Amino acid sequence: MPTLIDLIRAGRKVERHHPWPRAVVDSDAWRAAAGALADGGLSLLGLWGEPSCVHMAIVDERTSDIGVVSLDCPDRRFPSVAACHPPALRLERTIHDLFGLQAAGTPDPRPWLDHGRWPMRFPLGERLDAAPDPAPYQFLPAEGDGLHQIPVGPVHAGIIEPGHFRFTASGETVVRLEQRLGYTHKGVEGLMTGSAVEQAARLAGRVSGDSTVAYALAFAQAVEAAQQIAVPPRAVLLRALMAEFERLANHLGDIGAICNDASFALMQAHCAVLREAVLRAADAAFGHRLMRDLVVPGGVARDIAGDGPNAIRAALDQIRRHFPALIELYDNTASLQDRTVGTGIVTAALARQFAAGGYVGRASGRDHDARRKPGYLPYDGLRFEVPVLGDGDVNARVWIRIREVQQSLALAYQILVGLEAGPVRVSLRAASEAAEGIALVEGFRGDILVWLRLNGDRIDRCHLRDPSWFQWPLLEAAIEGNIVADFPLCNKSFNCSYSGQDL
C-alpha cells in the first residue's frame, strides 16, 4: 500500500505550493491513491476539479502528512475514486456538474448540484447549453411489502436551510433515507475565479453563515501560505479568540436545539440566553454579532475594541457560572436521555472511512482536530483537550459539544491573558508569479479545507470544502432502523451545513 510520500514522489512536484506538497501524477498513481483510501491507510480530505484536471487532498493517517495529488484529464475523464472509496462519490458528481469531467467507472452518474435549472451545463468548464427538458431526478429504489415514502423539503417546517429528504419507511421505522441537496448552490467558486483577493475573502465568509470566522480564517491562511507571509502575533490571537467564540456560540445553540427537538424546551431557553450573551459580547468587542468580514488575509480587519476584552470576559464568566447547571439538567433528565441515548448511531468504522471531522467524527472514536493535526498558530502554545467518545449516538454528539464548550472557554481565557499590544495586519505581497496555498482549519462543525491558486492579486481558482461533505452521508446511515420521529433529533445532532456543501 503506497504511503502519501510514495505517491508524491511518484509524480512531478509542483513548485510554489505551500505549506504541503502537491504533485501531478499519472492515472496509475491516481488509482493507487484511490486504492490506499479504500484500504484506510490514507483518508480523503478533498476532491475538486479545474477545467481540465482534478485534484485530491489526502491525509496519511499514520504520519499525519498532508498532500495533494493532481491528474490531468486531456480527454475529460479521470478514474473514479468513488468506485472503490464511497466518500468521494458526491464530490465526483459535483466535479461532473461543474466542469463536465467524467469519473470513469463511477457507481452513480446522477447529477448532484445541477438540478437542470441553470442556464447552462458545466458552468466552470467547457459550457454547454442547458438541456431543454432535464430528466426528473431518480431516487434510489427501496422495495418491499408495505414500504411507503415520505418526501420532505426543500422548504422545511422550521427556520432552517433548504434540502430534500426522501424517506422510505416501514411503519414507523426508516428503511432508507436519501438526501438530495444543492438547493442553495450559489456558484461561489465560479464567482471567486478571477476576483480580487478582498472580494473572494468576503465570499469565503459567506459560504456558511454559522462558520463565517472559520471560513474566513481558512481562506486567509491559504492566501498567506501561497504568499509565504506571516501575520502578527496579536492578529493570530484575535483570530483564535473569534474562532473559539464562534465555536461557543454554535455549540451552545446546538445543545439547546437538540434538546428542543426532543421536546425539552427548557434547555433550549437557557442555552439560547448563553448564546445571545456570546453574540452580544462579539458585537461589543468586534462590531459584529457573527464576527463577519473581520478575519482577512494578512491579519484582522480591525483591532478589538478598547473594552472588548472585558465584554468577552463577562460573557465567558456568565457561561462558566450557568453552564454547569445545564450539564446537570441534561444528564439527570431521564425523559431526555431516553431520546438521545442509543439514537442515530454512527459506527466508528464509518466515521473513519469517511474521515468525518468535528463532533460527528469525535463522537464515533475518530480522534481528529485540525487545531492539533496538522495544527496551526496559536494552538501549539495553548492548553486544550480534544474530547473523543465511542458511542456514536446523539447523546455522544451532545457530550462532545458540552466538553468542547468547556475547552473553548478555557482557550478564550488563555488567549485574553496572552494578548499583547502590536500590529494586527500586514499587507499582502504584490506577487506576480502564480502561487498556490492550502489550509485546513477547525470550524465548530469540523475541518474546513481551502485550496487556491493566486495569480497576482487575483484568484485563479479557489476550492472550499465544508466538513459536511463527509458528514451528510453518515446521517443517511445513522437514521436507518430508527423511527421517523427521531429524524429531527438525529439531524440536529449532526447539524450539517446545506449552504456549505451546496456552495
C-alpha 23 chain-centroid distance = 24
| Window 212-231: contact mask with another protein (x via CB under 8 A) | x-------------------
Place of cell 454547569: 324
Give the residue with the Cβ less far from another protein, 275 or 366.
Answer: 275
Q: Map the footprint of another protein across residues 63-92, applying CB under 8 A.
A: none
Give the residue with the Cβ less far from another protein, 86 or 154.
Answer: 154
| Window 267-306: contact mask with another protein (x via CB under 8 A) | --xx-xx-xx--xx--------xx-x--------------
SS (H, E, C) 288-320: CCCCCCCEECCEECCCCCCCHHHHHHHHHHHHH
Residue 51 burial class via C-beta count within 10 angstroms: exposed 0-12, middle 13-18, buried 19 and up: middle
Report in angstroms the alpha-carbon separations of 315 from 236, 238, 273, 312.
21, 16, 11, 5
Q: Map the footprint of another protein across residues 406-445, applying CB under 8 A.
A: none
Beta carbons of 414 and 407 less than 8 angstroms apart: no
The one among 65, 161, 261, 393 contacting another protein by CB under 8 A: 161
Q: Which range binds another protein by CB under 8 A, 263-271, 339-347, 380-388, 430-438? A: 263-271
Give the residue with the Cβ less far from another protein, 159 or 421.
Answer: 159
What cell was used for 11? 509524480
For residue 425, report the phi and psi dihedrals to the nearest 5 degrees: -160, 140
Residue 427 burial class via C-beta count within 10 angstroms: exposed 0-12, middle 13-18, buried 19 and up: exposed
For residue 40, report the phi and psi dihedrals to the nearest 5 degrees: 95, -5
Q: Which range binds another protein by CB under 8 A, 20-28, 113-121, 388-396, 433-441? A: 113-121
Q: How many H helices and E strands in the chain? A: 16, 18
Q: Map the footprint of another protein across residues 234-253, applying CB under 8 A.
A: 253
Give the residue with the Cβ less far from another protein, 170 or 318.
Answer: 318
- How many residues in the shown chain lie near another protein by CB under 8 A? 53
| Window 325-354: contact mask with another protein (x via CB under 8 A) | x---x--xx---------------------
Q: Which range binds another protein by CB under 8 A, 10-18, 30-38, 133-141, 495-503? A: 495-503
- Rounded distance between C-alpha atoms, residue 268 and residue 371, angstroms: 29
The one among 80, 179, 184, 493 contacting another protein by CB under 8 A: 184
3-state secondary structure of 481: coil
The one among 1, 128, 155, 485 contacting another protein by CB under 8 A: 155
How much helix, strand and coil, in percent to the nearest 5, is found in the chain? 45, 20, 35
Q: Map the footprint of another protein across residues 352-381, applying CB under 8 A.
A: none
Binding site residues, another protein, CB under 8 A: 113, 115, 117-120, 123, 154-155, 157-162, 182-188, 190-191, 199, 202-203, 206-210, 212, 253, 266, 269-270, 272-273, 275-276, 279-280, 289-290, 292, 325, 329, 332-333, 497-499
